[in-house]
Amino acid sequence: MNGDGLSGDGLASTGLGLVVGTVPATPLQFSVGLAPGQYAQLDDVVVTQRPLPGQQQVRIAGVVTNVEAVHEGARFASDVFLIEQGALPAEVCEVAEVTVTRVEPELYVPPLPGATVTRAVGEQRESALYFDQMDGSRVPVGFGRDGQPVYVNFEFIDGTRGAHVSISGVSGIATKTSFAMFLLHSIANSGVLGGEAHNTKALVFSVKGEDLLFLDYANSRLKPADQARYVQLGLPAAPFGNVRVFAPPRKGDPAGTPDVFARDRAVSPFFWTLAEFCEQELLQFVFADSEDERAQYTMLIAQVAARLRRDAVRAGDEGAVRVQGVDAANDKIIRTFGDLVGLLEAELGDDATRGSWVAGSTVTGSVNALLRRLRSAVAPLSVIVRGDLAHKGERSITTSRAQVTVIDLHNLPDRAQRFVVGVTLRTEFARKERQGTSRPLMFVMLDELNKYAPREGDSPIKQILLDLAERGRSLGVILIGAQQTASEVERRILANCAIRVAGRLDAAEALRPEYGYLPPAQRQRATLAKPGTMFIAQPDIPVPLAVDFPFPAWATRPSEKGEWAGHDVGPASPADPFAAIPGADDDPPPF
| Residue type, position 513, single letter | P
pLDDT at 54: 86
Mean pLDDT, 10 residues at a time, over the chain (591 residues)?
40 74 94 94 95 92 94 90 89 94 94 96 94 93 94 95 95 87 96 92 91 93 95 96 93 84 87 94 83 62 91 87 80 90 89 79 77 91 90 82 93 93 94 89 95 88 93 94 94 95 94 92 90 93 93 92 73 38 47 71
For residues 479 and 492, is the Cβ–Cβ distance under 8 A? no
**How far is residue 124's CA from residue 62's CA, in Å, rounded to a whole number?**
11
Long-range contacts made by residues 227-230, C-beta under 8 angstroms, separation at least 24?
Answer: 227/553, 229/143, 229/550, 229/551, 230/550, 230/553
Neighbours of 145 (CB within 10 A): 18
- Length reported for the chain: 591
The helix/strand count (H/E) of the chain reads as 17, 24
Neighbours of 175 (CB within 10 A): 23
Beta strand 29-34 with 17-19: parallel, antiparallel or unpaired?
antiparallel
Please state whether the peptide bond connecting residue 544 to the residue before it is cis, i.e. omega within 30 degrees of 0: no
Contacts of 158 (CB under 8 A, 6+ apart): 192, 441, 476, 478
**How far is residue 267's CA from residue 297's CA, in Å, rounded to a whole number?**
39
**How far is residue 478's CA from residue 193's CA, in Å, rounded to a whole number?**
14
**How far is residue 432's CA from residue 566's CA, in Å, rounded to a whole number?**
26
Any idea what the Cα angle at residue 485 is, between residues 507 and 471, rounded to 5°? 145
**How far is residue 286's CA from residue 344's CA, in Å, rounded to a whole number?**
14
Which sign, positive or negative, has the C-alpha torsion 524, 488, 158, 517? positive
Any idea what the Cα angle at residue 45 is, between residues 39 and 49, rounded to 5°? 95
Which sign, positive or negative, has the C-alpha torsion 394, 398, 404, 410? positive
Instruction: Please report how many Cα atoms fall inside a 13 Å half-sphere around the Cα of residue 458, on the Cβ side.
Output: 6
Q: 333-354 burial by CB neighbour count: b if 16+ within 10 A, else e?
A: ebbbbbbbbbbbbebbeeeeeb
Nearest alpha-carbon partner for 339 in 292, 376, 387: 387
**How far is residue 85's CA from residue 80's CA, in Å, rounded to a whole number?**
9
Beta strand 312-314 with 442-446: parallel, antiparallel or unpaired?
unpaired
Dihedral of CA atoms 115, 119, 124, 129 in degrees, nearest 10, equals: 110
Any idea what the Cα angle at residue 211 is, between residues 210 and 213, rounded to 5°? 65
**How far is residue 267's CA from residue 214's CA, in Å, rounded to a whole number?**
11
**How far is residue 263's CA from residue 490's CA, in Å, rounded to a whole number?**
35
3-state secondary structure of 577: coil
pLDDT at 176: 93
Nearest alpha-carbon partner for 441 in 154, 200, 163: 200
Burial label, 37 (beta-carbon count in 10 A; 0-12, 13-18, 19+): exposed
| Residue type, position 139, single letter | V
Burial label, 439 (beta-carbon count in 10 A; 0-12, 13-18, 19+): middle
Please state whether the peptide bond connecting residue 51 to the residue before it is cis, i.e. omega within 30 degrees of 0: no
pLDDT at 576: 36
For residues 293 and 457, is the Cβ–Cβ distance under 8 A? yes
Nearest alpha-carbon partner for 495 in 504, 486, 503, 505: 486
